[in-house]
C-alpha cells in the first residue's frame, strides 16, 4: 500500500489533478480495511483509542498539540485548506499517524447557498437535490471540510419547531427519497473521492417530535409511529450508504437518544447492520446528566458509549472519563475497540489514510462560488418555489409596459435570503429579489420601498406586540429603481404602491427565526408586516405576495384577500434570480408543499396521513374536529399550482390481485390542458382499508415529475414492491395484510385524482 502524504502544496496540486483516479486506483477492499484496523488497534494505547472518539470544537491554540499527541480524532468548525492541511500534518506527526476528520454544518451549501432544506424538498426533484449536494461537497472539501453534519432527516409535523426548516417536511416517503438523494450527493460514488464529503444523517431519532414544538423537548411516541414515520428516512440514508449518524438531544419515550440502546444498538446496528459510526450532538453526552439519566459525566460516558455513540462532540466527557472507565474495568476494552473500529473504518472509507491532503489553496480558490455552482442554486431555488394562489392568472408578471412596486422588508435584503445555517455563505454574494426583478425588466420602471423592518429577533417584535423603530431605507438596487424617500413606513410604502401597476410584496421571517432554538408559539408574520400587507392590499392594486420563511406561517387573511401567493422559503445565494425566473414565467412553478400548511396554530399537528378515527367528517357536532376552526389545512401536502393546468384520467390497476411478494403496478394518464409547457408532480397514494391496526387515510408511495407540452398526454406508471403496502402490527411485526387497498394517482394529498383498488391475497 502506498501512503501519499503530501508535504508541499506544489506537489499536492500536481497529484490532486488526478486525485479521483488516485482514489479509485487505491480503493481498499473491506477486508483490507479491517486488517489495517486490526493492526492499528493492536498498537494503540487506551489513551490513543479514546483520542479517536473525541471531537473538539473550533480552531483552538491547543488543536495541533492535541493532534500530535493523538488526543483528538476530529475537529468541528475548522475550515480553510491551509489550516486544515497544517492540522492534518500535526496528526501525521502523531505516533500512529491517524488522520483527523474535519466536520462542519454544510446544511444547504458551503459558500454557494442553496434553498434551505425544506425548500429543496419542495422541489420534489431528487436528481437536482443530489446535484446541489454534490456542489456543496466539492466546495466544502475544497475548503478542507471532509464531513458534513447533514442531511437532517427528521420528520417534522409541527411548524412551531424552528428546525422544521432543516428537514424534508412531514412525510416518511418523501423524506426517505430526499434523504437518500442528499447522501448520494454528498458522498458521490465514493467517499474517498477528494471531492466527496462524508454525510451524517441526523438527529437519531424522533427529535422532530418535540412536544409543543419546543426545541430539545421530550418526544413520546408509540413504537409503531417510530418505525413507520420517524425511522424510515434514517433507514433510507443507511441504505444509501451514509457514513455516519448523529444522535439527538431529546429523550425518546423516556430514554435520551444519546444513550438509547434500543435505537442505537438494537435498531441501527442489529436490524439495519449499520457499520459506520454515531457522533453525539453538541454536548448531548453531558446532557444525559440534566436529563436525569446519568448521575454524573462518568456515568454519562459509560451509558452513551455502551448504547452506541462512538464519537463525543465537543463536551470532552469521553476524553475525561473513558480512560479511567477502562482502567476500573467498568468499560470492557471490547466496547472501546468496537467504537474505535467504527471511527477508523469511516476514516479509511473516506480515503483519509491514502490522501489526507485532499485539498490545497488552489482548489479552494477555484472551486468555490463558481458560475456553474450558482447556476445549480438558481435552478433549485426556482424549483423550490410553491405557487399557492394565482387568481385571474395575475402571474406571470408582464415584462414591459407596467410599473412594478417591489415592497417589503425582505425585498432587497441580502442576508435573509440565505435562511439559517449558512455555512460560509456571504450576504454580499446574494442576488436580492429586487435585483432579480430589475434584471427581468431592463426597460421598465421598478419602484421600491421596505415599508417596515424585521431586522431584530426581539421577542416583542416577533409576536407583533409592538412595532419596530423605523429604519432608513436601503440603498441597494439599480439606477432604474426609484426608492421610497425617508425611513421605512407603511404610509411611504402605500404611496409607492399607488404609483405602480402591480405590487410584489416580500414578507416573512428573518432567516434566523427558524433553525435551532427558534421555536415559536405563534405563526403570524412578525412585526408590523400584516398591517403593511393589509394597507397595500387596500390600495386596490394587484398584489403578489412572496413569502420567505422557514416554516408555514398563518396567512389566513392573505389567502382570502391577496390574489397571488408564492411560498419562496429562503432560496439562497441566487434567491433574486430564482424568484424572478418564476414570477416572470421563465420557469413554470413546479414546487409542491412537503407539508400540510396549517390554517392556524390551534390545528397543529396537522398532517395528511392521519387516521380516519371512528368519527370522521360528518354534518353533526359529534365528530373529530374543532368547534371554532376547520380541521383541514389551508393547503394540503403535495399542493402547488403551475401556470398551466393538468387533467388526470384513466387510472389502471395493472396488477389487480397481488401477493405480498409481488409487484404493484398502477398507471394513469396526465394531460397538460393549459397553454404552456409545464411541470407536474404526479403523486401516488395508497390506503389499506382494514388491517390489524388502524391505517392512515392516505400514504404517499411514489411520485414523478413530468414536463408536458400544451395538450400533451402521458401515461405515468408506478411500479412498486407490494411491501410498500405493509405496516407494523401490534406486536411490531412488519406485515402486508390481505384485503382491499385503495390507490390514487393525484396532484396532492387532498385531491380526488383518479382512484382504484387492488386486492392482496395471502401467498
Ligand atoms: C447542534 C445541532 O443540533 C446539530 O444539528 C449540529 O450539527 C451541531 N450543533 C454542530 O454544529
pLDDT at 450: 97
- CA angle 617-619-621, nearest 5°? 85
pLDDT at 675 > cutoff 90: yes
Grid cell at residue 551: 416554516
For the chain, helix (H) and strand (E) counts, in that order, are 23, 27
248-275 per-position pLDDT tens digit: 999 999 999 999 999 999 999 999 999 9
| Closest approach atom of ligand 1 to CA 202 | 5
Report pLDDT for 370: 98
pLDDT of residue 26: 63
In the DSSP assignment, the letter for residue 456 is -
Task: Tally the residues of the chain.
Answer: 763
d(CA 601, CA 606): 10
Confidence of residue 401 (pLDDT cuts 50, 70, 90): confident
Q: How high is the pLDDT of residue 480?
A: 62
Instruction: Please check the confidence at residue 390 and state whether its pLDDT lies above 60.
Output: yes
687 bridge partner residues? 742
Residue nearest to atom 4 of ligand 1 (CA): 281
pLDDT, tens only, 480-493: 677 766 789 999 99
Question: What are the tens digits of pLDDT across the range 692-729?
Answer: 999 999 999 999 999 999 999 999 999 999 999 999 99
pLDDT classification of 20: cutoffs 50, 70, 90: very low
d(CA 549, CA 31): 48
User: What is the structure's pLDDT at 668?
Assistant: 99
Residue 463: its pLDDT value, please?
A: 47
Residues 81-113 pLDDT 10s:
999 999 999 999 999 999 999 999 999 999 999
Structure confidence by residue, pLDDT tens digits, 286-325? 999 999 999 999 999 999 999 999 999 999 999 999 999 9
Q: What is the structure's pLDDT at 582?
A: 98
pLDDT reading at 521 higher than 90: yes
Give the least confident one: 40-49, 469-478, 524-533, 611-620.
Answer: 469-478
Residue nearest to atom 10 of ligand 1 (CA): 282
Residue nearest to atom 9 of ligand 1 (CA): 282
DSSP structure class, residue 565: E
Q: Which of 312, 269, 361, 308 is nearest to 103 (CA)?
A: 312
Atom of ligand 1 nearest to the CA of 149: 7
For residue 10, what pLDDT is reported? 38
pLDDT, tens digit, for every residue of 489-513? 999 999 999 999 999 999 999 999 9
Average pLDDT, the chain: 93
Residue 68, judged by CB atoms within 10 A of its CB (0-12, 13-18, 19+), counts as middle
pLDDT band at 121 (very low <50, low <70, confident <90, very high): very high
Active site residue 171: no
> pLDDT for 434-472, tens place per residue?
999 999 998 889 999 999 998 755 444 444 433 333 333
Residues ≥6 apart with Cβ < 8 Å to 268: 204, 234, 238, 245, 274, 278, 308
CA–CA distance, 506 with 489 (Å, rounded to integer): 15
Query: What does the DSSP 8-state code read for residue 597?
Result: B
* Ligand 1 residue neighbourhood (C-beta within 6 Å): 105, 149, 202, 281-282, 516
Closest residue CA from atom 7 of ligand 1: 149
Q: Which of 56, 76, 79, 105 to mutate to test the pocket of ligand 1 (most atoms within 8 A of CB)?
A: 105
pLDDT score recorded for residue 483: 74
Ligand 1 pocket: which of 281, 285, 515, 518 to mutate (most atoms <8 Å of CB)? Answer: 281
Rounded to an integer, the average pLDDT of 111-122 is: 98
- Distance (Å) from CA 126 to ligand 1 centroid: 24
Write out the three cell numbers for 706. 413530468
pLDDT at 425 over 80: yes
pLDDT at 124 over 60: yes
Task: State the catalytic residue, choosing from 171, 251, 281, 413.
Answer: 281
Give the 3-state secondary structure of residue 482.
Answer: strand
Residue among 313, 421, 423, 424 whose CB has most ligand 1 atoms within 8 A, to mutate: 313
The reported pLDDT for the residue numbered 619 is 76
Amino acid at each position: 500500500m502506498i501512503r501519499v502524504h503530501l508535504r508541499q502544496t506544489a506537489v499536492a496540486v500536481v497529484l490532486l489533478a488526478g486525485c479521483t483516479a488516485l482514489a479509485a486506483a487505491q480503493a481498499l477492499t473491506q477486508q483490507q480495511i479491517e486488517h489495517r484496523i486490526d493492526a492499528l488497534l493492536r498498537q494503540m494505547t487506551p489513551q490513543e483509542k479514546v483520542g479517536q472518539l473525541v471531537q473538539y470544537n473550533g480552531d483552538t491554540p491547543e488543536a495541533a498539540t492535541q493532534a500530535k499527541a493523538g488526543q483528538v480524532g476530529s475537529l468541528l468548525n475548522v475550515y480553510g485548506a491551509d489550516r486544515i492541511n497544517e492540522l492534518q500534518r500535526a496528526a501525521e506527526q502523531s505516533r500512529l499517524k491517524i488522520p483527523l476528520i474535519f466536520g462542519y454544518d454544510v446544511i444547504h451549501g458551503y459558500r454557494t447557498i442553496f434553498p434551505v432544506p425544506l425548500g429543496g424538498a419542495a422541489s420534489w426533484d431528487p436528481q437536482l437535490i443530489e446535484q446541489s449536494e454534490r456542489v456543496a461537497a466539492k466546495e466544502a472539501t475544497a475548503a478542507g471540510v471532509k464531513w458534513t453534519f447533514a442531511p437532517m432527516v427528521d420528520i417534522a409535523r409541527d411548524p412551531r419547531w424552528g428546525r422544521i426548516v432543516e428537514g424534508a417536511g412531514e412525510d416518511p416517503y418523501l423524506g426517505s427519497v430526499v434523504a437518500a438523494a442528499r447522501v448520494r450527493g454528498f458522498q458521490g460514488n465514493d467517499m474517498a473521492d477528494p471531492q466527496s464529503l462524508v454525510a451524517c444523517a441526523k438527529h437519531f431519532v424522533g427529535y422532530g417530535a418535540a412536544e409543543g414544538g419546543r426545541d430539545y423537548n421530550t418526544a413520546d411516541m408509540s413504537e409503531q409511529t417510530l418505525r413507520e414515520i420517524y425511522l424510515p428516512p434514517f433507514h433510507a440514508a443507511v441504505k444509501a450508504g451514509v457514513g455516519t449518524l448523529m444522535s439527538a438531544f431529546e429523550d425518546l419515550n423516556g430514554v435520551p437518544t444519546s444513550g438509547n440502546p434500543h435505537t442505537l444498538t438494537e435498531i441501527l446496528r442489529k436490524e439495519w447492520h449499520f457499520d459506520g459510526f454515531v457522533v453525539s450532538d453538541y454536548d448531548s453526552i453531558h446532557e444525559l446528566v440534566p436529563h436525569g439519566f446519568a448521575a454524573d459525566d462518568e456515568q454519562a460516558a459509560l451509558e452513551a458509549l455502551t448504547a452506541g455513540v462512538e464519537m463525543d462532540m465537543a463536551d470532552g466527557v469521553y476524553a475525561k472519563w473513558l480512560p479511567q472507565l477502562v482502567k476500573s474495568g467498568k468499560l470492557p476494552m471490547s466496547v472501546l475497540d468496537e467504537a474505535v473500529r467504527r471511527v477508523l473504518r469511516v476514516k479509511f472509507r473516506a480515503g483519509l489514510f491514502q490522501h489526507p491532503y485532499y485539498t490545497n489553496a488552489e482548489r479552494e480558490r477555484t472551486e468555490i462560488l463558481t458560475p456553474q455552482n450558482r447556476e445549480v442554486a438558481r435552478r433549485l431555488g426556482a424549483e423550490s418555489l410553491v405557487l399557492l394562489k394565482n387568481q385571474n392568472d395575475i402571474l406571470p408578471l408582464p415584462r414591459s409596459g407596467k410599473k412594478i412596486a417591489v415592497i417589503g422588508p425582505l425585498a432587497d435584503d441580502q442576508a435573509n435570503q440565505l435562511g439559517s445555517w449558512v455555512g460560509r455563505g456571504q450576504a454580499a454574494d446574494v442576488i436580492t429579489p429586487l435585483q432579480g426583478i430589475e434584471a427581468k425588466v431592463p426597460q421598465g420602471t421598478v419602484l421600491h420601498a421596505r415599508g417596515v423592518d424585521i431586522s431584530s429577533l426581539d421577542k416583542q417584535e416577533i409576536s407583533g406586540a409592538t412595532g419596530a423603530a423605523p429604519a432608513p431605507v436601503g440603498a441597494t438596487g439599480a439606477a432604474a429603481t426609484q426608492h421610497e424617500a425617508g425611513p421605512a413606513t407603511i404610509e411611504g410604502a402605500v404611496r409607492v404602491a399607488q404609483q405602480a401597476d402591480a405590487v410584489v410584496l416580500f414578507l416573512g421571517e428573518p432567516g434566523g427565526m427558524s433553525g435551532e432554538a427558534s421555536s415559536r408559539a405563534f405563526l403570524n408574520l412578525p412585526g408590523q408586516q400584516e398591517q403593511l400587507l393589509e394597507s397595500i392590499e387596500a390600495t386596490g392594486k394587484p398584489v403578489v405576495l412572496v413569502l420567505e420563511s422557514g416554516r408555514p406561517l398563518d396567512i389566513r387573511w392573505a389567502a382570502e384577500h391577496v390574489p397571488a401567493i408564492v411560498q419562496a422559503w429562503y432560496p439562497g445565494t441566487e434567491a433574486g434570480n430564482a424568484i424572478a425566473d418564476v414570477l416572470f414565467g421563465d420557469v413554470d412553478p413546479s414546487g409542491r408543499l412537503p407539508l400540510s400548511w396549517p390554517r392556524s396554530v390551534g390545528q397543529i399537528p396537522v398532517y395528511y396521513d392521519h387516521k380516519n378515527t371512528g368519527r370522521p367528517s360528518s354534518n353533526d357536532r359529534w365528530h373529530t374536529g374543532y368547534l371554532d376552526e376547520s380541521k383541514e389545512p389551508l393547503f394540503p401536502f403535495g399542493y402547488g399550482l403551475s401556470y398551466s393546468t393538468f387533467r388526470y384520467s384513466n387510472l389502471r390497476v395493472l396488477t389487480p390481485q397481488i401477493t405480498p411478494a409481488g409487484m404493484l403496478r398502477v398507471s394513469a394518464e396526465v394531460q397538460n390542458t393549459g397553454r404552456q409547457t409545464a411541470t407536474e408532480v404526479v403523486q401516488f397514494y395508497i390506503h389499506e382499508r382494514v388491517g390489524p391496526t388502524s391505517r392512515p387515510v392516505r400514504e404517499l408511495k411514489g411520485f414523478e415529475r413530468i414536463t408536458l407540452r400544451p395538450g400533451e398526454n402521458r401515461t405515468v406508471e408506478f411500479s412498486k414492491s407490494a411491501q410498500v403496502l405493509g405496516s407494523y402490527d401490534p406486536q411490531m411485526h412488519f406485515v402486508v395484510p390481505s384485503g382491499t387497498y385503495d390507490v390514487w394517482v393525484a396532484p396532492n394529498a387532498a385531491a380526488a385524482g383518479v382512484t382504484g383498488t387492488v386486492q392482496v391475497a395471502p401467498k
